[in-house]
A and B are shown apart, each in its own frame.
Chain A
């Protein structure tokens, strides 16, 4: 049952990314290119997603617990540290170079190309590397 719930969530996410145009790196980069031919599509995707989630989370988190799991797993940290900001900055460079963030990169597997394989392999390698880094900053 948990696996089915996960599949439905992934399916909705993949459909949303594709319909929203996020599986097109050129469209993502055109949004980031504020001094070029700016493409506002990503604002609508992010805005629509945040607004929907904002309302839905408030309804869902009133419940005692999730339907098929025990307890909600919510981040509790509130401090700002070097790992958060440094990590976000490194991610921003990679995103700006490629137009791929993790979701669209994996969702684009249906249109697989050699550069996309390189992107995915390096990203997975990066996740392993990040786990090796010391936890203090």
Chain B
């Protein structure tokens, strides 16, 4: 096991947790990325659009600050110091994957953050079921792509 990667993972996880706590303590909201960003696109009240937009800017600027500061805190596989990894497929595969992620998180009411982090922390039955579902289906998808079909991602 790569101890450094695991330790970085734990630190990253705690930071994500602090983000979720901060958002609840200040704005009273669940830190669900798909909910925050799809809500931004859907419009809604102006008071909400502003913090959703600045959340997005913060989300993008976190990794950007690490890159610009030359930090070695990045955690890309076999590229110490690199912050953002390369996509594993081309435009076509990503169009399909993006559509599935968008539709799925849209109708399922959340993603890895909303259901996975905040929902599990609230011991929500819906979130526990959703998280187990997307984890198992994602593992099955990777199994089929890598070990049954072979090649590809």
Contact = CB atoms under 8 A, between A and B. Distances in A.
A11 B61 contact: yes
Q: Is chain B's interface secondary structure helix, strand, loop, or mixed overall?
A: helix
The interface size bin for chain B is: 35 or more
B73 to A, nearest CB: 5
Q: Is chain A's interface secondary structure helix, strand, loop, or mixed overall?
A: helix
Given A24-B84, A114-B91, A5 B22 contact: yes
The interface size bin for chain A is: 35 or more
Interface string A70-112: 1111110111100111111111111111111111011111110
A49 B92 CA distance: 32
13 contacts: A15-B12, A16-B16, A18-B75, A21-B77, A23-B63, A23-B84, A26-B88, A45-B13, A80-B125, A85-B129, A85-B130, A110-B83, A123-B98
Interface of B: 1-2, 5-31, 33-34, 37-38, 41-42, 47, 50-67, 73-77, 82-109, 111-113, 115-122, 124-126, 129-131, 133-143, 145-147, 153
